[in-house]
Amino acid sequence: MPENTYGIIELVGVSTISWEDAAKNAMDAACTSLEEMRIAEVVKLDLTIEADVLTYRVRLTTSFKYIDTWWILKDEY
């Protein structure tokens, strides 16, 4: 297996439906700009109650394969 480098970020997903939906929203948003997502781990679950509306929040960490793209931009600078 070749050696790789992975980045780790923290995301917060929000939903008025469920914690599962909140986690899905966070991962869907991250997948639009990150490639080769690897693992997501739920770190914290909480909810807010405002005007009788529950809002589910999920904090998670996720890893993705780091791809060095400096060579793509080097000619632009």
Whole-structure pTM value: 0.76
Confirm or reject CATH 3.40.50.300 for domain 6-68, answering yes or no.
no
**Distance, CA of 1 to CA of 61 (rounded, Å):** 24
For 45-70, how does the pLDDT look when each residue is reduced to its tens digit (9 = 90+)? 999 999 999 999 999 999 988 776 65
The closest alpha carbon to 39, from 48, 30, 47, belongs to 30
Average of per-residue pLDDT across 11-35: 93
| Euclidean distance between CA atoms 23 and 58, whole angstroms | 6
**How remote is the C-alpha of 67 from its chain's centroid?**
17
How is the chain split into domains, by residue range? 6-68
Tokens of 45: 């679950």
